[in-house]
Amino acid sequence: MARSTLNLWVGIFVLLGFFSFLMLGFKVGNLSAGGSGSTYTVIAHFDNIGQLKERAPVRSAGVLVGRVKSVSFDPVHYNAEVQMAIDTKFPFPKDTSASVLTSGILGEQYIGLDAGGDEKMLKDGDEIKLVQGAVVLERLIGQFLFNKAQDGGAEKGAPK
């Protein structure tokens, strides 16, 4: 086969491969939505994080604003330390509150941020003080049964 034809075909092949790389990058990897944009890290301590994992989404008002960077156990306070990488496009006030939430009934867990009213903004390395841990189903049921028993006891005791 002639050299020029050969080069043409290999060129087409490499270009096709490159375009499929771009297509995968933009359609699957979400490169267009600032996936590699700069972020700042904030820390939050939770009593219980449930099933929260690394790379879980951080949402505010349901919109993705960042991802969980790391989850570790804090041996001083005996609770979970969560580091979140939040997009620098979204600054949050200092009194923002963070809670561990679940998407849907059986869905993955994520961190929900509710902005406060402070005029100072969170900086890299700051800690979110207002936190709400994950709701554990067993504890919820336990509390419900406990309240029920207490109500029953009160009703019986009332006529006396």
In the complex, minimum distance from the CB of residue 49 to another protein, in angstroms, rounded to a whole number? 19
CA gap 156, 82 in Å, rounded: 46
In the complex, minimum distance from the CB of residue 12 to another protein, in angstroms, rounded to a whole number? 8
Q: Which is nearer to another protein, 18 or 144 (CB)?
A: 18
In the complex, minimum distance from the CB of residue 9 to another protein, in angstroms, rounded to a whole number? 5
Helix (H, G, I), strand (E, B) or coil at 75: coil
In the complex, minimum distance from the CB of residue 69 to another protein, in angstroms, rounded to a whole number? 13
Q: Which is nearer to another protein, 45 or 87 (CB)?
A: 87
Q: Which is nearer to another protein, 54 or 127 (CB)?
A: 54
Q: Which is nearer to another protein, 30 or 147 (CB)?
A: 30
Query: β-strands 79-87, 39-46: how paired?
Result: antiparallel
Q: Dump the DSSP string for 122-133.
A: P-TT-EE-EEE-
Q: Which residues bind another protein (CB under 8 A)?
A: 1, 3, 6-7, 9-10, 12-14, 16-21, 23-25, 27-31, 33, 35-36, 55, 64
Report CA-CA distances (Å) from 118 to 92, 94, 121, 153: 9, 6, 7, 46
Kindly provide the b/e burial profile for residues 98-123, where b requires at least 16 CB atoms within 10 angstroms of the residue's own CB: bbbbbeeeeeebbbbbeeeeeeeebe
CA gap 71, 44 in Å, rounded: 10
In the complex, minimum distance from the CB of residue 24 to another protein, in angstroms, rounded to a whole number? 5
Q: Which is nearer to another protein, 16 or 121 (CB)?
A: 16
